[in-house]
């Protein structure tokens, strides 16, 4: 799957992943109204609204991008109907041949991580059959509990030819509270980066990159310079561009000398583009066209610095 | 909710939480067969089997215990039908007046943690209505991303009179890889413990304990001695007793001088008790009676050391 991801990034010249994180506040009024008319102001109504929103955006941008990253929290907030919309979104993106990064940030004791791995990278045994629950291509993982919380995902990924991105240095303001604490003069996130390198070292695709990648926030370019060196084979998933404040230049340290090695996420900046002054001319009716324009601008912006 | 939890612990003299973590391997053959006969060897069939299994165990033990802790991974592994069984289990336990600790170990950037908080502690706004997705009483959280990943849960918990248990020192073998790394001579988990104390300090119930608790594994009693002092007001959720190897004596450092301040989880040790030699006499048909016997033995075992 890392080979598919890198192949698509090269072909499209677009190291871009669109974060499908549909808060209701992003969904235009007319889509909400239609969904509520049909299902009422219920969790089912909300789920229908975000599904229709997602579908229109995917239809508008799928030929420009290699991958999508649905953030499962945005679906989980609407309970079971929300997770049904997550499942439907994943399946729809697969039909469009997009690489799907499930942003789930899971991680637990070994037997529990095994269950998460079955649910998200699959399959799970039921009687004599092997079935898939959510079936993403990659997942994001939290490393706080160490190797035995990560290995079950890597083992499942190996069998399924899938992959994972492990949190190293996150994009949020308080990420330094623990991640930057100094251990023998070096911050914790560097040790995590070394572990990511170790976890992924014997699991490298034909493209030269590992199936075990990392998450490094675009909001911390100085730190990215270090992590890039510590994990030479890790593909880096970079959140924080756009809405969280990072610019194209801030992304550079995550890329290698070939302009590869990183894929940049934008969520709000793409899916709620129609709410920005820059794309206001599209209007709420044509929100998906605004998203397409924003993807094209993002592609150009990143290409201009690489 | 911390007052309800502590009140129930005192009344039942049982600082015990039963982990409802139903792997199919724990579910007796006759329950699996009935579910598969009805739904086939499908995710729906698996979900029906674990729901029937849970229901029988809850019916058998609910009067003895203050709380249950369903581990959402065990449901997520069966995709949407599995999560429906999770939801049904939570609702059923609420009817039985049990305190429900959703073992979800979530944590993300602020806006994403807000969504998780809405989904699990609720409510979420849909049009003019406020609706609940999963609606547990407490959740477990991962602190790797720092304060702004935790605060949205605490804010929601405040409004809903609910709570959270934050990972400090986990029970798994590799928990030390990052949690034990020394920062100015003290392990990382101690700094996390100090933060937990800070996060919960202005949010204390009438019982004197905070709504913001911690997870400290029973498998690390020496470390528990330190964390107990660093978080004097935190209730401590203690996994690792029984199947993971810790004994009643190992639990002691998590309790305070009043024999309160901690609640001990057992999952496999209770729900799959009928598979142990000690309870084999019950047979698979009477697996729930075996669970009841195991709860009674666990209660006595812990009472004997307190």
Judged by DSSP in three states, A139 sits in strand
Among residues B179, B176, B178, which one has the least CA distance to residue B168?
B179
On whether the CB atoms of residues A116 and B73 are closer than 8 A, the answer is yes
Position of tokens 């991974």?
B73
Residues B224 and B179: their CA atoms lie apart, in Å, by 13
- Per residue in B58-115, pLDDT (tens digit) is 999 999 999 999 999 999 999 999 999 999 999 999 999 999 999 999 999 999 999 9
Per-residue confidence (pLDDT) for residue B217, from 0 to 100:
96
> Kind of pairing, strands A129-131 and A124-126?
antiparallel
The helix-helix angle for B110-120 and B147-160 (nearest 10°) equals 30
Write down all domains in chain B, each with its CATH number in brackets.
2-303 (3.20.20.70)
On whether the CB atoms of residues B215 and B165 are closer than 8 A, the answer is yes
Q: Do B175 and A145 touch (CB under 8 A)?
A: yes
**Which element (helix H / strand E) includes B196?**
helix B188-200
Among residues A239, A249, A306, which one has the least CA distance to residue A270?
A239
This complex has an ipTM of 0.97
The helix-helix angle for A188-200 and A221-230 (nearest 10°) equals 40
| A105 has catalytic annotation | yes
Residues B74 and B76: their CA atoms lie apart, in Å, by 6
- Residue of A76, A120, A183 with shortest CB distance to B181: A183
Marked catalytic residue, from A10, A105, A158, A275 = A105
Residues A256 and B249: their CA atoms lie apart, in Å, by 53
Q: What is the DSSP string of A222-249?
A: HHHHHHHHH-TT--EEE--BSTTSB-HH
pLDDT tens series, chain A, 306 aa:
999 999 999 999 999 999 999 999 999 999 999 999 999 999 999 999 999 999 999 999 999 999 999 999 999 999 999 999 999 999 999 999 999 999 999 999 999 999 999 999 999 999 999 999 999 999 999 999 999 999 999 999 999 999 999 999 999 999 999 999 999 999 999 999 999 999 999 899 999 999 999 999 999 999 999 999 999 999 999 999 987 788 999 999 999 999 999 999 999 999 999 999 999 999 999 999 999 999 999 999 999 999
Residues B212 and B165: their CA atoms lie apart, in Å, by 6
Distances (CA, A) of B52 to A251, B20, B55, B172, B288: 51, 12, 5, 29, 11
On whether the CB atoms of residues A219 and A244 are closer than 8 A, the answer is yes
Per-residue confidence (pLDDT) for residue A242, from 0 to 100:
83
How close does chain A come to B155, measured CA to CA in Å?
Answer: 16
Residues 66 through 125 of chain A touching chain B, CB cutoff 8 Å: 71, 73-74, 76-80, 82-84, 87, 105-113, 115-116, 118-120, 124-125
Query: Is residue A185 within 8 angstroms of chain B, CB to CB?
Result: no
Q: What is the DSSP string of B28-40?
A: -HHHHHHHHHHH-
Residues A63 and A54: their CA atoms lie apart, in Å, by 15
């Amino acid at each position: 799957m890392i080979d598919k991801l890198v192949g698509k990034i090269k072909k499209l010249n677009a190291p871009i992943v669109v974060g499908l994180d549909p808060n209701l506040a992003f969904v235009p009024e007319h889509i909400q109204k239609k969904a509520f008319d049909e299902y009422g102001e219920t969790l089912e109504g909300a789920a229908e609204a975000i599904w229709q929103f997602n579908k229109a955006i995917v239809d508008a941008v799928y030929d420009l991008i290699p991958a999508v990253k649905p953030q499962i929290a945005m679906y989980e907030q609407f309970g079971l109907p929300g997770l049904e919309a997550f499942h439907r979104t994943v399946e729809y993106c697969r039909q469009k041949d997009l690489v799907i990064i499930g942003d789930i940030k899971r991680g637990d004791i070994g037997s529990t991580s095994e269950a998460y791995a079955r649910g998200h990278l699959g399959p799970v045994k039921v009687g004599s059959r092997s079935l898939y629950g959510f079936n993403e291509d990659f997942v994001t993982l939290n490393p706080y509990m160490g190797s035995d919380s990560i290995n079950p995902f890597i083992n499942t990924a190996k069998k399924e030819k899938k992959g994972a991105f492990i949190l190293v240095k996150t994009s949020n303001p308080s990420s330094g509270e623990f991640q930057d604490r100094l251990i023998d003069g070096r911050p914790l996130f560097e040790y995590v980066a070394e572990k990511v390198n170790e976890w992924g070292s014997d699991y490298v695709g034909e493209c030269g990159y590992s199936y075990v990648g990392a998450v490094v926030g675009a909001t911390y370019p100085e730190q990215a310079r270090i992590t890039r060196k510590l994990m030479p084979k890790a593909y880096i998933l970079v959140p924080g561009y756009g809405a969280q404040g990072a610019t194209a230049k801030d992304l550079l340290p995550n890329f290698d000398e070939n302009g590869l090695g990183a894929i940049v996420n934008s969520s709000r900046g793409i899916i709620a583009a129609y709410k920005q002054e820059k794309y206001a001319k599209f209007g709420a009716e044509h929100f998906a066209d605004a998203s397409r324009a924003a993807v094209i601008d993002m592609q150009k912006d990143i290409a201009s610095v690489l």
